[in-house]
């Protein structure tokens, strides 16, 4: 079995190690018009310098009204491409591969005048009442995802992640709690996600793997369980997903009973086992031994460390040193380790 520090190859994607920075919105730092700014540039470049094998840029929306707040990133216009390209190229220059998470917040879009969703069901009393997308609008939405995928490719990303988790629009369509539609997208709750996967595959090079982030279980009363999400994931795999990034929840205000170290790791293991597909484990994986064991024991192929990398941009480098590997940082920083 490989270790956390071993390289990873899938199709044309080659990662120098199995350490992933997962998508994390920086929306409080006021991106304007969906464009990343100097904060985002520094934020992502620092984690590339810190040695992460793969950096997945934060939730980036296909429509202005698909943003959680107006400070989110977006790729609904060609004008947004250069600001992303600058960051992608900078991270790649330090040896990281770069992905981007493409999304729509649906009923969780807080600044949209009237948010849209699969059905007109409010997230909570604190959120706006959404309206149900018409069947034609759902088809148009698939087109918006396709255009955003093309723009991400123009920005030079190595991989694309579709956000089908955390109670956002794709998740809203796939959950029986939020999809009460009577058209084809209600008869088959996976259809919207499947069409988005197919749209990605239409525009992506064959050699580029496609990642999908899913919530493997819901925590709300009556929410779906793991056998349900495994069936969903099979449909997405058939449509062209190569890697699942396994998270949970977000459909309501309840979370897991306990969110301790590795709290979602078994979900990644189950999906990997059921579908025989690579997975990324995420969720309190910052304990270096736990991360390494997850890969060594074949529970996941890659490990994402979110808050741990927010606290310490050089987490990957620290993990490498702790596991007996080489410094992952460029020479001027690596020199700091030779004086021990
Ligand atoms: C500040 C912050 C922003 C986040 N933004 C996103 C996001 O844009 N997309 C997403 O799928 N998850 C997002 N997440 C969830 C993380 O990707 C990750 O799944 C979660 O923090 C659990 O991993 P951790 O315990 O290593 O932090 C965010 C988390 C944090 C802390």
Q: What is the DSSP string of 24-65?
A: ---GGG--BTTB--HHHHHHHHHHHHTT-SEEEEEEEESSGG
Percent pLDDT > 70 in the chain is 99
Q: Is the pTM of this model over 0.95?
A: yes
Q: What is the mean pLDDT of residues 139-148?
A: 98
Q: Which atom of ligand 1 is nearest to the CA of 163?
A: 11
Query: Given pLDDT bands bounded at 50, 70 and 90, which one contains residue 339?
Result: low
Q: Based on the structure, what is the number of domains in the chain?
A: 1
Q: Answer yes or no: is 2 within a domain.
A: no
Q: By the 8 A CB rule, do 313 and 52 touch?
A: no
pLDDT range class, residue 336, cuts 50, 70, 90 = confident
Mean pLDDT of 327-336: 86
The reply to whether 3 falls in a domain is no
Q: Where are the beta strands (DSSP E) in the chain?
A: 8-10, 13-15, 19-21, 54-61, 73-74, 97-103, 116-117, 131-132, 159-164, 210-215, 243-247, 279-282, 302-304
Give the ligand 1 atom nearest the CA of 259: 25
Whether 155 maps to a domain, the answer reads: yes
CA–centroid distance, 187 to ligand 1, in Å, is: 31
Measured in Å, residue 59 CA sits from the centre of ligand 1 at: 10
Residue from 111, 114, 131 nearest 172 by CA? 131
Write out the residue range of the structural domain in which residue 123 sits.
Answer: 8-337
How high is the pLDDT of residue 194? 99
In-domain check, residue 117: yes
pLDDT digits (tens, 9 = 90+) for 170-189: 999 999 999 999 999 999 99
Mean pLDDT over all residues of the chain? 97
Nearest atom in ligand 1 to 165's CA: 11
Query: Per residue in 228-250, pLDDT tens?
Result: 999 999 999 999 999 999 999 99
For residue 129, the domain's CATH number is 3.20.20.70
Residue 1 lies in a domain: no
DSSP 323: T
For residue 42, pLDDT beyond 80: yes
Cβ–ligand 1 contact at 73 (below 6 Å): no
């Amino acid at each position: 079995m490989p270790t956390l520090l071993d390289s990873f190859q899938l199709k044309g994607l080659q990662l120098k190690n199995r350490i992933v920075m997962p998508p994390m919105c920086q929306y409080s730092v006021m991106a304007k018009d969906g464009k990343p700014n100097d904060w985002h540039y520094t934020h992502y470049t620092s984690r590339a310098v810190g040695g992460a094998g793969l950096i997945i840029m934060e939730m980036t929306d296909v429509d202005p009204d698909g943003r959680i707040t107006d400070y989110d990133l977006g790729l609904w216009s060609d004008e947004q491409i250069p600001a992303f390209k600058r960051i992608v190229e900078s991270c790649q220059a330090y040896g990281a591969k770069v992905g981007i998470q493409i999304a729509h917040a649906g009923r969780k879009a807080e600044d949209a005048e009237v948010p849209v969703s699969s059905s007109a069901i409010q997230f909570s009393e604190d959120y706006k009442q959404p309206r149900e997308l018409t069947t034609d609008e759902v088809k148009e939405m698939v087109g918006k995802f396709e255009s955003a995928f093309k723009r991400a490719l123009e920005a030079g990303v190595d991989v694309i992640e579709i956000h089908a988790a955390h109670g956002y629009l794709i998740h809203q369509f796939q959950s029986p709690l939020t999809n009460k539609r009577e058209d084809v997208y209600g008869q088959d709750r996976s259809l919207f996600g499947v069409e988005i996967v197919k749209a990605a595959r239409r525009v992506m090079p064959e050699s580029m793997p496609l990642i999908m982030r899913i919530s493997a279980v819901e925590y709300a009363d009556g929410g779906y369980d793991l056998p349900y999400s495994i069936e969903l994931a099979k449909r997405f795999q058939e449509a062209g997903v190569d890697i699942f990034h396994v998270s949970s929840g977000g459909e309501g205000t309840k979370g897991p009973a306990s969110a301790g170290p590795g709290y979602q790791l078994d979900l990644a293991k189950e999906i990997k086992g059921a579908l025989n597909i690579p997975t990324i484990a995420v969720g309190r994986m910052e304990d270096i031994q736990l991360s390494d064991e997850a890969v060594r024991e074949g529970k996941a192929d890659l490990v994402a460390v979110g808050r741990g990398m927010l606290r310490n941009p050089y987490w990957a480098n620290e993990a490498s040193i702790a596991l007996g590997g080489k410094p992952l940082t460029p020479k001027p920083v690596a020199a700091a380790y030779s004086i021990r």
